[in-house]
Structure 1
Amino acid sequence: MSQGPEAAFHGGEPHRPDLAQRLNWLRAGILGANDGIVSVAAIVVGVAGVSTSTGPILTAGVAGLVGGAVSMALGEYVSVSSQRDSQHALIEKERTELAEQPEEELAELAAMYQAKGLSRATALNVAEELTAHDALSAHLSIEMNIDQDDVVSAWSAALASAVAFTLGAILPLLAILLPPPSWRVPVTFVAVIVALGLTGWLGAYLGGSNRGRAAVRVVVGGALALAATFIIGNLLGASGVVG
């Protein structure tokens, strides 16, 4: 009984064509959440160093959340739009070359496979079969590592970035508003440190790097940011500059 190409994959192994991109998106979401956690936590802890009043803390926290989410979305939109425009330009260029000089493009494709270790005859055979199936996709894949059906969406990237930042920012905002005034800063420190440890560990897991080292790095960085803003807020409050 014949089996399709998918049947040749080992059971349980992830061979979905879009798996790498999905993991990258997930890791980017985790990093966006990290930004939201640290940014808003630093703001509210800094304000709490000056005043225990709920009003200023809430105002600063919400402003930081909204401003950060918008900034992240705009930055991601601009970045991904530029990437998308470049991808479209490369795709159109390759399409034009295939239409105007198909023989030269076939020879180029065969040469690339030969450079990867195939014999000349095998490389030419592979190039001919891939060209007959989908010449544009074959060239985009080996020359530029681009999938013409998988061009990134700037709006999706912007929305994902804003949502990730917002979800991360909600944690320190709740942590500093829900407890009694005397417990606000300690509870926020603990909540942020735990959250950063978890997101740092998960991000490293998805990226295949050392999880413990990554978690410690993120936790130390976040703790330093919180400590610095809290000390600055205290100093400003004590000096009478703000109050």
Structure 2
Amino acid sequence: MVTDDIRRYQTNLRDELDGAALYTAIAEAEPDPLRKDLFLQLAQAEARHAELWRAKLAEAGVKATPYVPSFRTRLLGKLAQRFGPRFVMPTIAAAEFADRNKYAIQADARSISAEERGHAAIVQEMARTSPRGTVSGADIARAEPWHRGASGNNLRAAVLGVNDGLVSNFCLIMGVAGAGADSRIILLTGLAGLIAGACSMALGEWLSVTNARELASTQIAKEAEELEQTPQAEQHELALIYQAKGLPKPEAERIAAELMRNKKAALDTLAREELGIDPGELGGSALAAAVTSFALFAAGAVCPVAPFILLHGAPAIIASIAASAVALCGVGVLTSLFNGRGAWFSAARQTLFGCAAAALTYGIGTALGVSLS
């Protein structure tokens, strides 16, 4: 037996025993009967996994050392008993999420890999939800309009896309203007910067979404394979997930059994609940993301270059600075919608930093222009 394999078995055994001990301690501290039962089921699952690694060590002729809970396990258990399980659940959920695929690359652990991912989804759900009859701070926050506004990821992405185009092209144009270039050269440079930057952003967004879609498809295909090979384990995971959402155990098991009668519905549910993937979307359209990214960058980049189409010399530079400053101010106002700061403060900060960056490139352009001439 390879020494590395034995060391891996010992590490896996220790991790699973720590998990069983931790979930048992949390179950003891959990006042809600449904959640207590769910924690005990998780502890039992971890104990079963531990037996797998204990058996592997026995096959290799290695006797497992007596188990002593790790410091982290003891600390989290004491914190749960002192302050309640919800105090430690975010930490545990983060750890489960980080380790959800640790067995996927271990050929002798494929049988429990899917179950570990299911555990991660269950713990994530339990960390988000409150025991019956209680309301968490997160629940209250989600009910407040200003919290909902802060989560506008689409708006944030759009504003930042415009800002990227605006600031980068503003700085580029000011740098060339500082070097004393002719207005036609500045115009050409600005248009080239607009097209190059927009194409770069579009390509980057297309690659990002395409890779995300391909990864999601691969994960769903693997989940479908596991659904065919270990349907009972997947049904059990579904039941645990619904228990984590607050359903009584019999009801959760009934729903899981109903879903398993339709493999497509079961796969869709597992993809959403366990993998966090919407099979109907798979991350959205790569083409739409690329076109949107191109348009947003171009919309920002056109502001500093547009004056050079109609004006020349110093008037064009002044108009470019004015147009860019107004655009920066507008971007700042929009950022106030999701950064929680006042509109005037955000506008002033955005304008100040954007103009400072342009002034820096103008100075560098002036210095280089003098030295080259």
Pairing of 1:151-230 with structure 2 (within 5 A): 151=282, 152-205=284-337, 207=338, 209-210=340-341, 212=343, 214-230=346-362
Pairing of 1:50-129 with structure 2 (within 5 A): 50-51=179-180, 53-129=182-258
Equivalent in the alignment of 1:135: 266
Counterparts of 1:175 and 1:110, CA distance in 2: 63
Which amino acid in 2 is paired with 1:184?
A
8 Å CA contact retained: 2:198, 2:293: yes
Say if 2:319 is the partner of 1:149.
no
Q: CA deviation at 1:168?
A: 1.5
Equivalent in the alignment of 2:50: none
Say if 2:45 is the partner of 1:45.
no
**Per the alignment, in what secondary structure is the counterpart of residue 201 of structure 1?**
helix
Which amino acid in 2 is paired with 1:168?
G
Q: CA deviation at 1:114?
A: 2.0
Q: What does the per-residue CA deviation read over 1:66-124, in whole Å, with 9 as the maximum and x for residues that have no partner?
A: 21112112222222222111111111111222222222111101112323443323332
- Relative to structure 1, is the Cα distance of residues 210 and 120 closer, same or farther in structure 2, using a 3 angstrom cutoff? farther
8 Å CA contact retained: 2:175, 2:365: yes
Say if 2:162 is the partner of 1:30.
no
- Relative to structure 1, is the Cα distance of residues 210 and 137 closer, same or farther in structure 2, using a 3 angstrom cutoff? farther
Gaps of 5+ in 2: 1-142, 144-148
Q: CA deviation at 1:130?
A: 5.0
**Per the alignment, in what secondary structure is the counterpart of residue 106 of structure 1?**
helix
Q: CA deviation at 1:37?
A: 0.8
Looking at both structures, which has the greater relative contact order when contacts are Cα pairs under 8 Å and sequence separation is at least 6?
1
Q: CA deviation at 1:185?
A: 2.8
- Relative to structure 1, is the Cα distance of residues 204 and 121 closer, same or farther in structure 2, using a 3 angstrom cutoff? farther
Which amino acid in 2 is paired with 1:28?
A
Counterparts of 1:234 and 1:177, CA distance in 2: 23
Percent sequence identity over aligned pairs: 38
Equivalent in the alignment of 2:122: none
Q: CA deviation at 1:164?
A: 1.5
8 Å CA contact retained: 2:239, 2:255: yes
**Per the alignment, in what secondary structure is the counterpart of residue 195 of structure 2?**
helix
**Per the alignment, in what secondary structure is the counterpart of residue 118 of structure 1?**
coil
State the TM-score, normalized to the length of structure 1.
0.78
**Per the alignment, in what secondary structure is the counterpart of residue 150 of structure 1?**
coil
Which amino acid in 2 is paired with 1:112?
I
**Per the alignment, in what secondary structure is the counterpart of residue 83 of structure 1?**
helix
Counterparts of 2:309 and 2:156, CA distance in 1: 29
State the TM-score, normalized to the length of structure 2.
0.53
Q: CA RMSD in A?
A: 2.9
8 Å CA contact retained: 1:202, 1:211: no
8 Å CA contact retained: 2:183, 2:312: no
Q: What does the per-residue CA deviation read over 1:211-236, in whole Å, with 9 as the maximum and x for residues that have no partner?
A: 53554443333122111111112222
Gaps of 5+ in 1: 1-12, 14-19
